[in-house]
Chains A and B, each alone.
Chain A
């Protein structure tokens, strides 16, 4: 178990920088997600830490040791990919035994460790199956067991749940978080799914075009984004004008609707039922084309499409964001 530190890490392909001067410190036992759109350099960053790729410049430290020039084999990292990357010709048990065999751990001890790891991911009983005989979720559990069975210093997960359907993904998110907490292993998880990042992380690092946009706890990144990109990537963002000519973010849940009373008059353009919440698209009188979005609990008063409402928010819920 070790911390991870990146200092000015840059990876160039020709003149294009896939990772551009990235600094990051992940504390021991912490779970940090790297969140960004496709092509923002998330996989590049992970492969640099894993040693599958060499940075053009900058240093990488794991547990205080400079591993920038160390090969992947010597970094003691657990790695999980979206595509599972199980060894197709081996059984589940053989897959999990692989890193122990490489480390020349005795047969009996290795067997015990592998079976414990499989129990940890709730796959005991499937030891002798082939990967091809497992569902996607089961295969990813095998990959996870294989990545933690040798007590790696750190765990790197590249969109580990990206190939699974929504329900299974939400289940596995919870399991993954519990597993990570019980092992106390320092973890970097890559995702392009903002909900996943918000629900799993101790902290989120938002990446765009190879550059760090913000590193912050989920609530802070969501409510106090460092810039407009972060504001919009982490969820629905409403921007309102400030007296000084600037702009401020207000999230949909912070917007109050009422049939009458104080606030700005508006018309409901669309009311969308989402189960737990109702999302309203509102057109404020005398303002631009872009509708404001409000989200209200389903239990509150409901407004129909076309209805006129009053819109208000607290000044404390505004967060100034540079254009």
Chain B
């Protein structure tokens, strides 16, 4: 029993705080720097200003990257939600030969090193002539996001009593009607969470995007490229915006799932 004796408990707490600090210190440096008035990256900032935010929003290339990122994330997250949702429903509810390998195949992008997925997608998209195209980018991000959807919805479907669906069928409801009126309303919080995860997953993606995006710039890809060329404080503003967006989105997920969780507790 770890954590039963006081000193192991204290050690664990200390380790936890250390880990948390290790993860948040970069944020504590980046966020103040983004509001710096200085021309170059200096810490602590000599004064406060919004100049790097103005630089970001005033730069048409950044705005273009933003638009690309947003549209790729929007389309690929919805595609992953629909395809992953149908796949995981089949995986959880179906009873067919080859279910294990099929699930492994869907989960692979999350398990194998990203660089391997990147090379595979590079070769695959080149073969079908989609390398460097917007559609290719969307397809790649969809494939990358499907495992996230499968993970989140897989748990939700497993926890939802299949007999509820079976009763709906026996009462005369078609499969699609049951989906719409019974399954989805009960799974809505998890569907929302899966969509957010997929959206963030796409918005943050840089490795695969760098391989296959060609002339298209997404926000993370542009950040990466800018860092290599010159250290421009605009990046700290972009990073801060990304952090804010991610934190807000995850907070929304926590809120929705928390409410559903409370709902579930009252059900029992």
A residues at B contact (CB < 8 Å): 47, 50-52, 71-73, 75-79, 81, 83, 85-89, 98-99, 102-103, 131-132, 143, 146, 150
Contacts and interface: CB of A to CB of B under 8 A. Distances in A.
Which A-B residue pairs are the 3 nearest by beta carbons? A99-B171, A79-B170, A132-B267
B163 A85 contact: yes
B8 interface: no
Contacts of A79: 166-167, 170-171
B168 A87 contact: yes
25 contacts: A50-B166, A51-B170, A52-B166, A52-B169, A73-B169, A75-B170, A79-B171, A81-B167, A83-B163, A85-B164, A85-B166, A87-B182, A87-B186, A88-B186, A98-B168, A98-B171, A98-B173, A98-B181, A99-B172, A102-B177, A103-B172, A131-B267, A146-B171, A150-B171, A150-B172
Contacts of A72: 166, 169-170
A146 B172 CA distance: 12
A102 B171 contact: yes
Interface of B: 161, 163-164, 166-174, 177, 181-182, 185-186, 263, 266-268
Contacts of B173: 73, 98, 102
A155 B169 CA distance: 15
A76 B173 CA distance: 11
A150 B171 CA distance: 9
A50 B172 CA distance: 11
Contact of A132 (B169, B172, B266): B266
Nearest to A131: B267
Contacts of A103: 172
Contacts of B263: 132
B119 to A, nearest CB: 40
Nearest to B265: A132
Contact of A89 (B171, B172, B185): B185
Nearest to B160: A88
A47 B166 CA distance: 9
B59 to A, nearest CB: 47
Contacts of B186: 87-89
A171 B166 CA distance: 27
B134 to A, nearest CB: 39
Nearest to B174: A73
Contacts of A146: 167, 171
B95 to A, nearest CB: 9
B268 to A, nearest CB: 8
B185 to A, nearest CB: 5
A10 B118 CA distance: 50
Contacts of A132: 263, 266-268
A149 to B, nearest CB: 9
Most buried by B among A73, A77, A146: A73
A230 to B, nearest CB: 29
A91 B8 CA distance: 49
Given A73-B169, A143-B167, 5 more contacts: A52-B169, A85-B166, A87-B164, A102-B172, A102-B173
Contacts of B267: 88, 131-132
A15 B237 CA distance: 65
A47 B165 CA distance: 13
A118 B168 CA distance: 19
A83 B185 CA distance: 20
B172 A73 contact: yes
Given A87-B164, A87-B182, A102-B177, A50 B171 contact: no
B192 to A, nearest CB: 15
B163 A81 contact: yes
B99 to A, nearest CB: 15
A47 B174 CA distance: 17
Contacts of A150: 171-172
A89 B172 CA distance: 19
A83 B267 CA distance: 13
Nearest to B163: A85
B262 to A, nearest CB: 11
Nearest to A149: B171
